[in-house]
Amino acid sequence: MSVAAHDLWRPSSGCDDDCLPAVGEVPTVPVARRVLRLVAAGGMLLAGVGVAVLLPVLPASERQALLRGWARGTVRAFGVRLVIKGRLPRRRALLVANHVSWLDILAVLAVAPTRMVAKREIRSWPVVGALAAVAGTVFVDRSRPRALPATVRRLADALRAGRSVAVFPEGTTWCAGDGAAECRPGGGFRPAMFQAAIDAGAPVVPLRLGYRSGDTGAGTTVAAFLGADTLLRSVARVVAARDLVVSVTVAAALHPGQDADRRLLARAAESAVHLVAAAPARTRLRPVAALSPAVPAVSAVSAVPAVSAVPAVPGRGLDLAA
């Protein structure tokens, strides 16, 4: 495969170190507290080994409760407060979220302990990779775009079996905060994975992830994991930050029909996540009640009949950009 093809398969957000806060811009905690947070986080990661051993032998409800509790405890160990707005539907769903940080995975698991779709590299991360594998994570090899249709089929099979699946359809991380002026707050949702929800007849639930400073309530990029940034450096910023808050906002579900166009479905979910007030004209989405009063702006893009009414585009392969 050519370098150009690799670039298309591996999207780039354009966010880099210029989007990250400069030294002294973000309130920090004393060094002693940073050390305590690292020790606590390390303890939770070690506890994750035990969680990984127990997960396969537990009933589904207990497995979800254990994974949710571990994820919430790990987020807190890093010194981050979790805020949840809205409520997930009880039935299986394809959960789609914007992507900012490695913390996103823990935040989603803390709200919805589902199967995740993640890049293959995470499989090699200490403890987290093993836990993700045991939890049923679907790892995507971004160097093999021809494997994407098989991945979509696996997701559809999981949805048919009654399991929820979480995806970050932007394909890479974005600064999504008060970064440099040229940085965008988020990327377009790539439609391929939405085909799994259409094939399985499962709803799509958009999740909006946001990071802010608890002192001011302003958005922050301190947790962003961008470009050439290293995991160690990113973790160091997170444990040093004072009053860092990650919020997970649950938008109203989208219910695609069997003949839905995955591209329009992706656009509707993207609009809900990015809190766009009006949906594109082609979707003709009618409003429905949001799941929570905390997300009223979502109602304008949280409709389903129009998404179902638009026929799928024939003859197109399920590549990542399709």
pLDDT of residue 11: 58
Per-residue pLDDT band for 276 (boundaries 50, 70, 90) equals very low
pLDDT tens string 126-158? 666 777 777 778 888 766 777 788 889 999 999
Instruction: Please state, in angstroms and rounded to a whole number, the distance separating the CA atoms of residues 226 and 21.
Output: 12
89, 114 Cβ separation under 8 angstroms: no
Say if residue 6's pLDDT is above 90. Answer: no
pLDDT tens string 184-216? 556 789 899 999 999 999 999 999 999 988 766
| Proportion of the chain above pLDDT 70, given as a percent | 73
pLDDT of residue 283: 35
pLDDT tens string 97-119? 998 888 998 999 999 888 888 87
The arithmetic mean of pLDDT across residues 54-60, rounded, is 86
pLDDT tens string 23-41? 767 889 999 999 999 999 9
pLDDT of residue 20: 77
| Burial degree of 276 (CB within 10 A; 0-12, 13-18, 19+) | middle
User: What is the distance, to the nearest Å, from the Cα of residue 196 to the centroid of all Cα atoms in its chain?
Assistant: 16
pLDDT tens string 220-238? 888 888 877 888 889 999 9
**Mean pLDDT in the chain?**
77
Phi, psi (rounded to 5 degrees) for 169: -75, -5
The arithmetic mean of pLDDT across residues 294-311, rounded, is 37
Specify the pTM. 0.78
pLDDT of residue 75: 96
Q: Which residue has the higher pLDDT, 316 or 76?
A: 76
- List the one residue out of 116, 80, 291 whose CA is nearest residue 205: 291
pLDDT of residue 114: 87
- β-strands 244-250, 204-213: how paired? antiparallel
pLDDT of residue 119: 77
Per-residue pLDDT band for 291 (boundaries 50, 70, 90) equals very low
∠ CA 295-306-162, nearest 5°, is: 70
Q: Which residue has the higher pLDDT, 242 or 285?
A: 242
Say if residue 64's pLDDT is above 50. Answer: yes
Question: Which H helix or E strand runs over 130?
Answer: helix 128-134
pLDDT of residue 252: 93
Say if residue 312's pLDDT is above 70. Answer: no
